[in-house]
Every structure is written in structure tokens, then in C-alpha cells.
Amino acid sequence: MNKTSKRILKAFGCVLALPAVFYMPFVVADAVKKYDDECEYLMILGCNIIGEDTPSKQLVDRMDRAVEYLYSHQNTLAVACGGCFRSKQTVSEAEIIKKYLVNKGINENRILLEDKSTTTYENFQFALRIIREHSGNSTNNTRIAFLTSDYHIFRSGIIAKQSGIGNVLKVSATTHGKSVKSYIREYFVGYDFGYRLLKNMRK
């Protein structure tokens, strides 16, 4: 395929995505649902860290929702997800999440750490490995849910399926503040999804 054809293909992929028409309605539809699925393991997906170790407001929203869920589901184990990979960051997202939960009264023995990931894809890849080793069961024989911000639920659900979770369970955290910015980010993610889809169709 020559360069001109590749440029046309990429441009067509962006047009095909049309996130405002196709992708975003699914994002919004999932965001307004109040997911609270029952699970054995709850993956708490990391989020932005400010400076060395200060959790962003969106991460605090996720952690507060996790505390609420874990108090009402005493048999559920948490898997705090997220590495230490930003330029000024000194503590992993997972460690920050664990410390927050413990300070809120959650027993640290209920919290497993996945502190190597740098993306949502890696959150699932690394956390599922930890869960399989801890439970001694396959992914399909374990009730695994992920907890993330409402605007992030739809995309994370897709990634969960791609990661091998047959029965995807979800727990959503309401986003307070900067929600418009978050949805704009998901809008542009829609272009990438559309381009990937078209690329796979051409193989």
C-alpha cells in the first residue's frame, strides 16, 4: 500500500469513527447508569496524580466509591491498580489508593496491589494475573468487577472483554468537577477506536 493510500485510509478511518454520532452515545448511556454489580474481586482503576503523590479529584471520587462499596460488600477483595510513571510522581497509584482505603477503615488484608501498569489495558492485564494467582481460579470462574469513573465505564468495559473477562461486572463512580473535559477526552478516544476497527477490517 503506497503513502497516498495510507493517508486516504487514515482519513477515512477518522470519518468512520464519527464519535459524536456513534461512540459518544454509548459512553453517555453507560455513564448515566449506576452500576453496582456484586463481585469477589473489585479492580479499582487508577487515575491522574498531581505532583509527587496527590490524588486528582477524579481519583478521590473513585476511592470514595470504593470505600462505600467495600463497606457494603464485606467479602469483596479490592485490587488497587496503577503504577508510578509520571515525571514528578514518587508513589504508585496503587499505593495511594491502598493508603486512602486503609485510612477510611478498610482492612489492608482485603487489598491487593497492582502497581506496574501505565494504561487501562495494563490495569486489566496485570490485575487479572494477580487475581488468578490469588484465587487459584480462572478468570471465567471468578466474579471480577472493575470500578472507574462514570465517563470511563464504556471504554473500560470494552477493554475488559478484550482482556478475557466473559462476564463483565462494573461499579461506577460519579464524576464531580471537570466532567466536560473528561467527556471531551473520550470523544477523541472514539476516533482511535474507529481507526483501529477500520485497520483490522483491512487485514
Quick: pLDDT tens for 121-171. Answer: 999 999 999 999 999 999 989 999 999 999 999 999 999 999 999 899 999
Please report whether residue 138 resides in a domain: yes
SS3 content of the chain, % helix, strand, coil (to 5): 55, 15, 30
If one counts the domains in the chain, the total is: 1
- Asked if pLDDT for residue 201 goes beyond 50, the answer is no
Question: Does a structural domain hold residue 19?
Answer: no
Write out the residue range of the structural domain in which residue 75 sits.
32-177
What pLDDT was estimated at residue 143?
97
pLDDT at 198: 47
Minimum mean pLDDT range among 14-28, 31-45, 61-75, 135-149: 14-28
For residue 117 the three cell numbers come to 501498569
Task: For residue 15, tell me if it sits in a domain.
Answer: no
Residue 5 lies in a domain: no
Q: What whole-number distance in Å separates Cα of residue 89 and Cα of residue 87?
A: 6
The CATH number of the domain holding residue 103 is 3.40.50.620
Determine, yes or no, domain membership for 16. no
